[in-house]
Amino acid sequence: MRTRDAVAGLAVILALAGCQRTSMSDFSNSSYSPAPLQAQPVATVSSGQLAAPTNSAQFPAAPVSGTATVGGVQTAAASPAAAASALDVTKESMVGNWRVANAGSSCDMFLTLTNLGSGSRGGTRGCAGELTAMGSWEVAGKQVVLKDRSGNPLARLYKTADSRFDGSTNSGQPVSLSR
């Protein structure tokens, strides 16, 4: 029984030791508290007309004729007939594996709904040229925009049939996706 009493006594001592104050300084003394901050004056608010910009190099170039901005993405200067006759497209319908025909060769492209920057993650396997840098994609209106890993557009395509998209890369090479 002596061992049991010793263990119980030790447990009580340890429990009480945990309740002791262990700080090394006393901040309750008012000489250690910081002085209150002084209120700062607020300038008056004014309104007026802004001056015209003097350095035009700080602004992006104006869109090229035949382009437009749809959902924050500049669309390609595709033929008006291709854009007008394009079928509706949804992101969900794009997900999965696609066969790509580009510059006389073919390769594979896989598109997901995983967010990556301003678009969704995607990639290519076995492609040549510009499409080797593809890292994301997005739908802007009736257009599918393929982007590089930095988010810059590489190619723009329109839905031309149930399982087919046609368009071109930025360099003007024709691109087709099919399943």
Tell me the helix, strand and coil percentages in the chain, rounded to 5: 20, 35, 45
Q: How many CB atoms lie within 10 A of CB 122?
A: 22
The larger pLDDT score, comparing residue 80 to residue 63, is at 80
Instruction: Tell me the C-alpha distance between 81 and 93, whole Å.
Output: 23
Instruction: Please say whether the beta carbons of 77 and 67 come within 8 A.
Output: yes
Name, of 42-46, 76-80, 103-107, 148-152, the range with top average pLDDT: 148-152
Residue 24, pLDDT score: 56
What is the domain partition of the chain in residue ranges? 90-178
The larger pLDDT score, comparing residue 58 to residue 69, is at 58
| 90-178: in CATH 2.40.128.10 | yes
pLDDT tens-digit map of 83-92: 667 888 989 9
- The yes-or-no verdict on residue 80 having pLDDT over 90 is no
Instruction: Please say whether the beta carbons of 167 and 155 come within 8 A.
Output: yes
Residue 35, pLDDT score: 79
The larger pLDDT score, comparing residue 2 to residue 124, is at 124
- The yes-or-no verdict on residue 65 having pLDDT over 70 is no
Mean pLDDT of 51-71: 53
Q: With b meaning 16 or more CB within 10 Å and e meaning fewer, what string describes 63-98?
A: eeeeeeeeeebbbbebeeebbeebeebeeeebeeeb
Mean model confidence pLDDT for the chain = 78
Mean pLDDT of 5-22: 73
Residue 116, pLDDT score: 80
- The yes-or-no verdict on residue 100 having pLDDT over 60 is yes
Give the confidence band of 28 by pLDDT, cuts at 50, 70, 90.
low
Residue 6, pLDDT score: 79
Instruction: Tell me the C-alpha distance between 151 and 122, whole Å.
Output: 12
* Beta strand pairing call for 134-140 and 96-102: unpaired
Give the confidence band of 73 by pLDDT, cuts at 50, 70, 90.
very low
